Amino acid sequence: MDILFLVLLAVASYIYLYKVQKSLSKTNFTNLVYLYFYHLLFGLYYYFFVFGDSIGFWNQSSILSFETFLYCLTEQKGTLFIYALNYIPANVLGLSYFTGTMIYTFIGFLGVSYFYRLSILLIPENPKINTFSLFPFLFFLPNLHFWSCAVGKDTLLFFAIGIASLALTDLKKKWIFFLFALFLSYLVRPHITLFILVALAMSILFGQSTALYKKVFLSGIMVGLLLYILPNVMEFARLEEATLDSFNSFAETKASKLGSVNNSTAIDISSYPFVFKVFTFLFRPLPFDINSIPTLLAALENLLLVFLFVIGFKFAYFKSIKSAPFVIRFMVYFLIIGTVAFSQTLGNLGIMLRMRNMFLPAILFIFYWHFYYSTIPYRSLNKGSHKNI
């Protein structure tokens, strides 16, 4: 059965790449194929050398009873939902953890490809620093792939955010994909769905070219969805009430607990000032945090991000973001919301990297757009790529 599914995955990969090829230039398609094999290498590395909770997600699903499966599927979110999702391949079909890893690796690649295609759609020309092209170089950053190939929540959320972002380029035609992304993220991590909805509402409300009636109508829908899922988000996060004091208490407690864990990547951020917490979430580990080869790679990657962020100040971030396409402004709000929330609660560099991976595409798109907009005279984007909803 494992061999059959691995063959089916190979066929599915070929069919997907064949279909996408029609909408890409030869160079862009070649780079996407490179990304596919690059991502596949990370999936293989994760299976052979990383022994994390992904094994538990798969093995636990393989021993679930049918009654427990139904309970996890219909009554639970987060980890228990992942158990239910893996039940059929791991339990009913008896697929191995290796095959499961390859399935999730393919799902993660789909997420990468959605962001890749989105960058081609939204940014007309390759952004450069002097003569160095940023595209597709930034799509080969290790952490973009490392945390989106394993069995578990991170890969599914990365996939869902990719679908949601691509769907926002033409919500009238792709609304069903956006709703699917919301539903999937809600089942995996309800608070991420909240972040998406708030970011979308802010993008609509502050969009300069969005008609007033559209702002009122779409914002009303967003508020309704927010009110619907808020109780579940609070229950998931174990917040007693939706107040600033309640969140601050939750953040301080969780940050202190995570910072006191006895492992090499634990840091106590509970006493950090706000700005330092944000910097830690976005740009650490750095060279002084290195204690392993994966940490070394992450530190080098973060040095690059810090470098891009700093030299970007040669131009006005606010001006470029203000002129960005709707989807990129949505990503900016999504990044801000997620950074503010997670930077106050996480006290473990490994967990920070995992959580940040959901927002890493937003960081890359900000750099792509900023360096494009700042170095090339502004010109109209392709029809449909810059319009608001």
Nearest to 91 by CA among 69, 107, 114: 69
- Using DSSP bridges, classify how beta strands 132-133 and 128-129 pair: parallel, antiparallel or unpaired: antiparallel
Neighbours of 331 (CB within 10 A): 29
Of the listed ranges 45-54, 58-67, 347-356, the least confidently predicted one is 347-356
110-152 pLDDT, tens per residue? 999 999 999 999 998 899 998 899 999 999 999 999 999 999 9
> Is omega for the bond preceding 136 within 30 degrees of 0, making it cis?
yes
Structure tokens at 368: 């792509």
Q: What is the mean pLDDT of residues 172-187?
A: 95
pLDDT higher than 80, residue 67: yes
Please give the share of the chain, as a percent, with pLDDT higher than 70.
85
What does the pLDDT read at residue 387? 44
Of the listed ranges 12-21, 160-169, 238-247, 260-269, the least confidently predicted one is 238-247
What does the pLDDT read at residue 378? 47
Q: What is the pTM of this model?
A: 0.88
Residue 299 CA: distances (Å) to CA of 52, 251, 357: 20, 25, 14
